[in-house]
Structure 1
Amino acid sequence: MSNTIQLAVRTLVEHVYSSGSIDSRFRSQSTMLEGTRIHQKIQLTYQESDQKEVYLRADFPVKDLIFSIDGRCDGLLFRNGEVIIDEIKSTSQHLEHLGDDGLSVHWAQAKMYAYIYAKDHQLQEIFVQLTYVQAESDEKRLLKKCFFIAELEGFVQEVVETYYPYAKLLHDHRKERNESSKQLVFPFDTYRSGQRKLAGSVYKTISEKKSLFVKAPTGIGKTISTLFPAVKAMGEGNLNRIFYLTAKTITRTTAEEAVGRMQSCGLCLKYVTITAKDKVCFKDETKCQKDYCEFADGYYDRINEAILDIAANENCMKREVIENYARKHTVCPFEFSIDLAYTADAVICDYNYIFDPRVSLKRLFEEQKKSTLLLIDEAHNLVDRGREMFSASLNKELFLQLKKEFKSVNKGIYDSASQINSWFISLKKNGGELNEFTLDQLDEELILLLNQFKEGAEIVLLKETFPNLLELYFQVNSFLKIVDLLDEHYVIFGEKNKNDITLKLFCIDPSKLLQKMGKGYRSKVFFSATLAPLSYYQDILGGQDEDYLLSIPSPFKEEQTDIFIKPLSTRYRDRERTKPAIVTMIHSLVQNRPGNYLTFFPSYQYLLAVYDEFIKQYPGTNTLLQGAGMSEEEREEFLKKFKPNQPETLIGFAVLGGVFSEGVDLKGDRLNGVVVVGVGLPQLCYERNLIKDHFTKKERNGYDYAYVFPGMNKVLQAGGRLIRSEEDHGTIVLVDDRFLQRQYQDLLPQEWRSFVVI
């Protein structure tokens, strides 16, 4: 491994000059949204001889390392014999708040560029100019200084030497990581059936910079089969970072265990797990304000020391470890985990940190993406999560409340909220008698009103905090970001609810945007036990024709599972009529085959109806009921009750597609049977019908895309809880007459097709 450290000027100075507090009380979005516009506007005023976006690069040796530092300065100006480096900064603050001298981090960035240019062109002196622009008013303020090459050289040397301990730590670790990756052997005595093929396919995908869609059965060890080849690719210099993306906490734990197993076999790899902010916050309320939270106050003054400390002493940076170091250094545990994500070799986190345009890790530069792999676990969940990430809604009620709140407080906000409330009233009238109705396009007047509201809210919020205004400001901002994404993959619709009305920008087909957000990464691997049919998931998750597809057959024998189909109707209109037969069947099953069972129902209401009837008929039976909105502790307690070799039968009643129907690993005698009631079809609704119509128009099977494929995925996931190893045996009962139809049977796994009708 070379001793050269590639580093962007901005990354370097932001690290060395980080200071201040986290304060999300109000941070104007204008800087981010309008920064490019302001840069371009200033650059248009440059003279013909001036240059813009000038690429500069230089090497700086410090001790045993060489820092290769590069970046683009905004402007290179030539005025009356002076050479000037211009750095443009847009800000939402009033310019007088910047003090007499601007910010030291901005001077540092410009001085780095000035030194590189002056050295390359053998200049003895060079001018540095900071051009500050107030985002709302476009007011300008210029700060200009002259520097001699000798003082710039001393400054640069000092900055790089300050960064050196951190760089040295990362450099030495990566050297050790790559060596240990090369030496690492598969951390189990043998490969399970299908594992070697999966691992080989992942390695080939990374080598060839492709994407891979994998359907691999439950229980073969997909996590280690994807992470192990990724680590081997690191040792070969093909990768520098792995993102292991999941939808559920339980699958994050599986990933941590897989990395831990490789570490126990000699792998030197640092990973960080990102846990949601509200789960790790140390305070009673998640208010990131310096005068409320000591972990936010002065965060940036302490963060470098905290990162150095944890990076020097820990390889497993999971939730508990991060919390310990966060308390030690008095830093916010959530923001700490985000900062660590840019330094770790592997990051275990939710999908949204990569795919959600409003949340994603923005500091991953294109160059870093080229050596980064995305492993997308339980990828079937990304379809609806993708729709959620790229959709947005606003409702009338919020603006009406704000109008009342600000009537005698602020005329500007009152007028703005009134106008938007009136717009919603017109929308409601235009919908006539319909509860839901689509719009051909988004009204330009609304976009104008929302932008005016946003600008007015920014002015008020910079001076004082109003919680309801702040919340609506962020909602409007989020909505306007999605407005920019609108295209033929969207449907705009109104939905009435009593006196209220909601306007929704609904992303029907997330494929294009998932593809866009995943662009630039070296490789992507989408995998799940239920990625069937593969062509559907490749289409809807933004795959391309040249992607690899892999379907691994189950390593488990057909005789490990007894499959029964009970052809009753579970359609909504028939549920009351067939309820007694389902209750009798469940009781008969556990009488004839005692053990631990999970029974899954397509809705909570249906679940309660059957459960109540079952308890009434068979009061002495040992049962468990999934509660609404269970906490993590309650879920764990529920699963702990499934013990091996229990003297009496246990029946767990749970929701199909809920927390217990996927990602749950009850090995051996902890689970002896699964009953799935219904074919899992999502409830008939306006949104699902919009999906159906959209794909029908695109000459796909719209009903399958909207209802059948998502529904059967839940069935397969629930049934997949049963057989987790070669030693497991058990019973699956599928309750619905539609399981005998060809359309549904074709989606059943091969090993489920030898069934008995009861």
Structure 2
Amino acid sequence: EDIAWNNLTFGRDGLESAWETLPTAEEFTGECASRGICAYEAAKRLIPGADVVVVPYNFAFHPFMRRRMEMLMGTLDSIVLVVDEAHNLPDFARDLASTTLTMASLDRCEGESRDWKDPLLAGRITASRFVAVLQEILADLVDEYVYEDDGALPPYEVSTELMSRLGVTSHVVGEIVTDLHRHGTAIRDAKRASGRLPRSYLLNLANFLIFWNEMMEEDYVQLVIGGPNPAIEAFCMNPARIAGVANAFHSSVHMSGTLRPLDEYRDSVGLPPDTTLLTVPSPFPPGNLQVAYVNDVTTRYEDIRFDGDNRARIMRHLLACLGAADRSAAVFFPSYRLMNEFLDAGLASRLGRPVFVERRGMTQAEFAALIGRFRRASSSHARGGVGVSPTTEGGGAPVETCGDAGADGEADGGPSPEVGIGGPPAPTGRSGAPGRRTGGPTQDMGRRPVLFGVMGGRAGEGMDFPGEQLEMVIIVGLPYPKPTARQRALQHYYDLRFGRGWEYTVHAPAARRVRQAIGRIVRSETDRGMALILDRRAQHFGGDIPGLRMTADPLAEIHGFWRDVGRA
């Protein structure tokens, strides 16, 4: 650290070249590393001389980090804020304003209390015993209130349980938390003095309990969350508590290709009622993208449960449409669980194409490697190559650990019924010859690859696949939020505040995720492609997806599109 600071102090002249060369972030970081300079501190030194500064959301919306930026850039009223990919801001702001206490964090608190002589709180209970009582309360709340994923807690439930189990008044509970905060602060300071990471789990616990008891009830809902690491959460339903700081800037521009409905975004993040709302038409020729949906399938829970052939029809559509044209394709599902069910039913092995799967829990490095292999497989065909061999990691194997089955929501909120998934074998080439059906991989390495992922995942948002790297997207079902206790509370909140709960918290997020997935296809004026939605409920998205139309014959639609654009 001293070397980095000294080099930065005595080698500042070398940084001035950045104004002339305008290096990328990677180039700047590499140059700083070669000189033994802290790239983060070096970039901060350059900020005061810059006209445009590009930073993650945290630097504009996290109170502490924003104050640090003001020290470098000036007061907010002198700065024009531009929020890119603004459709992500409401969820980011809710997460930033929310706080969670997990069972794992309580375990760490228990360990820390014993490591630091188990301090006595309010003169009557040790820290370890207080933590143990909280662990018991959390376990009992899970048993009593959680249905499937989570449950809403009655007001003051945690405080009432604490007073009851400790046999004390609310005033004494307050004294306990105050002492906990004092001891946690002492532990943090002692760690800092000894050169250790200045962190105290007991201090974090005290801060959580203080916030839990003082939160504004109208903007928050108290939840208990089940699963392998149970938790209680103060979930913020009002993103304007964080995003509303945009109004303190000189002015702000919020933009995204999937920001509509604009009035919902304006209301959610707390922009003024007279905010200018502007929709700009796509700069790309409208004929470059065709979007259609079929009306004989759906991922709606009730239909999957009571229509035994529904999943089989989805499988048949996937096999037929992916076999109809040898185009690099992506298939996006509303959840990892539904995607896994189709993969487990043999979808990958019956396609006769290289398959790449975005798994739940992939590290950024694993995901980048997966996308790189998919792009190389697509590009090799565009150059007339023979393709690449998919690896077991993230692609190729038809039965793969693509994620924890059941780790996320079901298709539209219900448990998966035991319904078989069938369908005819897929054609392996343009001639329509039947494919092989075996227990192992059946990828035809002369065909273009298919990428499997979920809407709202990393592959479904923000990724560029230019040219022939991606020419077809199939969307299996609509990504309506699962009706958890959190989702129901959010919808109720928007009903009370704006009178448009379902539109703002169910329809709008689903429409944005669908448009994000479709948007992976056309990234320039020369890109062309087709998107097909396998869900009859897409008829309700006509106002959200330009050019959307129903098709009774998706195969004819696919062949006709590629014939019309000259790539048949």
TM-score normalised by L of structure 1: 0.55
Where 1:652 maps in the other structure, the secondary structure is strand
Deviations 1:571-604 (A, max 9, x none): 2451774333222212222333321111111111
Task: Measure, in 2, the Cα distance between the counterparts of 1:398 and 1:407.
Answer: 15
Deviations 1:91-123 (A, max 9, x none): xxxxxxxxxxxxxxxxxxxxxxxxxxxxxxxxx
Verify: 1:611 aligned to 2:343, yes or no. yes
Contact 1:672 1:729 in 2 (8 A): yes
Verify: 1:756 aligned to 2:551, yes or no. yes
Q: How does 1:69-148 map to 2 (within 5 A)?
A: none
Deviations 1:688-717 (A, max 9, x none): 111011112224221222222111111011
Deviates more, 1:595-604 or 1:364-373: 364-373
Verify: 1:527 aligned to 2:233, yes or no. no
Contact 2:319 2:351 in 1 (8 A): no
Verify: 1:537 aligned to 2:265, yes or no. yes
Q: How does 1:379-528 map to 2 (within 5 A)?
A: 379-404=86-111, 406-407=113-114, 409-412=116-119, 415-423=126-134, 425-426=136-137, 433-435=144-146, 436-440=151-155, 443=159, 449-464=176-191, 470=199, 472=201, 475-476=204-205, 479=208, 486-495=215-224, 497=226, 502-516=231-245, 518-528=246-256
Verify: 1:310 aligned to 2:46, yes or no. no
Task: Report how far residue 381 of structure 1 moved.
Answer: 0.8
Partner of 2:330: 598
**1:572–1:466 CA distance, 2 compared to 1 (3 A):** farther
Task: Report how far residue 306 of structure 1 moved.
Answer: 4.5
Task: Report how far residue 297 of structure 1 moved.
Answer: 3.6
Counterpart of 2:127 in structure 1: which amino acid?
S
Partner of 2:422: none
**1:421–1:718 CA distance, 2 compared to 1 (3 A):** same
Counterpart of 1:452 in structure 2: which amino acid?
D
Where 1:354 maps in the other structure, the secondary structure is helix
Deviations 1:263-312 (A, max 9, x none): xxxxxxxxxxxxxxxxxxxxxxxxxxxxxxxxx24654443335443134
Deviations 1:142-189 (A, max 9, x none): xxxxxxxxxxxxxxxxxxxxxxxxxxxxxxxxxxxxxxxxxxxxxxxx
Task: Measure, in 2, the Cα distance between the counterparts of 1:519 and 1:482.
Answer: 25
Deviates more, 1:378-387 or 1:429-438: 429-438
Contact 1:438 1:491 in 2 (8 A): no
Partner of 1:31: none
Deviates more, 1:427-436 or 1:693-702: 427-436
Structure 1: gaps (5+ residues): 1-295
**1:430–1:734 CA distance, 2 compared to 1 (3 A):** closer
Partner of 2:543: 746
Counterpart of 1:756 in structure 2: which amino acid?
T
**1:355–1:474 CA distance, 2 compared to 1 (3 A):** farther
Counterpart of 1:433 in structure 2: which amino acid?
E
Partner of 1:252: none
Task: Measure, in 2, the Cα distance between the counterparts of 1:534 and 1:499.
Answer: 38
Task: Measure, in 2, the Cα distance between the counterparts of 1:543 and 1:680.
Answer: 27
Q: How does 1:647-666 map to 2 (within 5 A)?
A: 648-666=447-465
Verify: 1:337 aligned to 2:43, yes or no. yes
Deviates more, 1:719-728 or 1:505-514: 719-728
- Please, which of 370, 373, 397 is the counterpart of residue 637 of structure 1? 373
Deviations 1:410-452 (A, max 9, x none): 1317923432442564576578822223243585766654443
Counterpart of 2:97 in structure 1: which amino acid?
F
Partner of 1:583: 315
Contact 1:392 1:478 in 2 (8 A): no
Partner of 1:319: 25
Partner of 2:281: 553
Where 2:374 maps in the other structure, the secondary structure is helix
Counterpart of 1:369 in structure 2: which amino acid?
L
Task: Report how far residue 543 of structure 1 moved.
Answer: 1.0
**1:397–1:598 CA distance, 2 compared to 1 (3 A):** closer
Task: Report how far residue 657 of structure 1 moved.
Answer: 1.1
Task: Measure, in 1, the Cα distance between the counterparts of 2:227 and 2:370.
Answer: 35
Verify: 1:725 aligned to 2:530, yes or no. no
Task: Report how far residue 733 of structure 1 moved.
Answer: 0.5
Deviations 1:235-257 (A, max 9, x none): xxxxxxxxxxxxxxxxxxxxxxx
- Please, which of 653, 674, 688 is the counterpart of residue 487 of structure 2? 688
Task: Report how far residue 334 of structure 1 moved.
Answer: 3.3
Partner of 1:351: 57
Where 1:618 maps in the other structure, the secondary structure is helix
**1:747–1:318 CA distance, 2 compared to 1 (3 A):** same
**1:755–1:548 CA distance, 2 compared to 1 (3 A):** same
Task: Measure, in 1, the Cα distance between the counterparts of 2:510 and 2:294.
Answer: 18
Contact 1:598 1:675 in 2 (8 A): yes
Task: Measure, in 2, the Cα distance between the counterparts of 1:482 and 1:307.
Answer: 43
Task: Measure, in 2, the Cα distance between the counterparts of 1:635 and 1:474.
Answer: 41
Task: Measure, in 1, the Cα distance between the counterparts of 2:175 and 2:505.
Answer: 34
Task: Report how far residue 329 of structure 1 moved.
Answer: 4.6
Contact 1:602 1:680 in 2 (8 A): yes
Deviates more, 1:453-462 or 1:674-683: 453-462
Partner of 2:357: 625
Task: Measure, in 1, the Cα distance between the counterparts of 2:13 and 2:70.
Answer: 20
Counterpart of 1:310 in structure 2: which amino acid?
L
**1:321–1:424 CA distance, 2 compared to 1 (3 A):** same
Task: Measure, in 1, the Cα distance between the counterparts of 2:153 and 2:481.
Answer: 21
Contact 2:247 2:271 in 1 (8 A): no
Counterpart of 2:376 in structure 1: which amino acid?
K
Counterpart of 2:39 in structure 1: which amino acid?
P
Where 2:54 maps in the other structure, the secondary structure is strand
Partner of 1:116: none
**1:364–1:564 CA distance, 2 compared to 1 (3 A):** same
Task: Measure, in 2, the Cα distance between the counterparts of 1:653 and 1:488.
Answer: 41
Contact 2:185 2:200 in 1 (8 A): no
**1:416–1:697 CA distance, 2 compared to 1 (3 A):** same
Task: Measure, in 2, the Cα distance between the counterparts of 1:359 and 1:482.
Answer: 20
Partner of 2:563: none
**1:424–1:608 CA distance, 2 compared to 1 (3 A):** closer
**1:329–1:456 CA distance, 2 compared to 1 (3 A):** farther
Quote the sequence identity (%).
Answer: 20
Task: Measure, in 2, the Cα distance between the counterparts of 1:382 and 1:710.
Answer: 12
Deviates more, 1:389-398 or 1:440-449: 440-449
Task: Measure, in 2, the Cα distance between the counterparts of 1:423 and 1:302.
Answer: 49
Structure 2: gaps (5+ residues): 160-169, 385-445, 554-568
Contact 2:455 2:461 in 1 (8 A): no
Deviations 1:515-544 (A, max 9, x none): 13x343222111011111110011112211
**1:322–1:536 CA distance, 2 compared to 1 (3 A):** same
Partner of 1:37: none
Task: Measure, in 2, the Cα distance between the counterparts of 1:460 and 1:725.
Answer: 55
**1:320–1:559 CA distance, 2 compared to 1 (3 A):** closer
Contact 1:374 1:523 in 2 (8 A): yes
Contact 1:322 1:336 in 2 (8 A): no
Verify: 1:698 aligned to 2:497, yes or no. yes
Task: Report how far residue 655 of structure 1 moved.
Answer: 1.3
Task: Report how far residue 547 of structure 1 moved.
Answer: 1.6
Task: Report how far residue 496 of structure 1 moved.
Answer: 5.3
Q: Please tell me the root mean square deviation across aligned C-alpha atoms, in Å.
A: 3.3
Contact 1:299 1:332 in 2 (8 A): yes
Counterpart of 1:637 in structure 2: which amino acid?
R
Which structure shows the higher strand fraction?
A: 1
Task: Measure, in 1, the Cα distance between the counterparts of 2:257 and 2:228.
Answer: 44
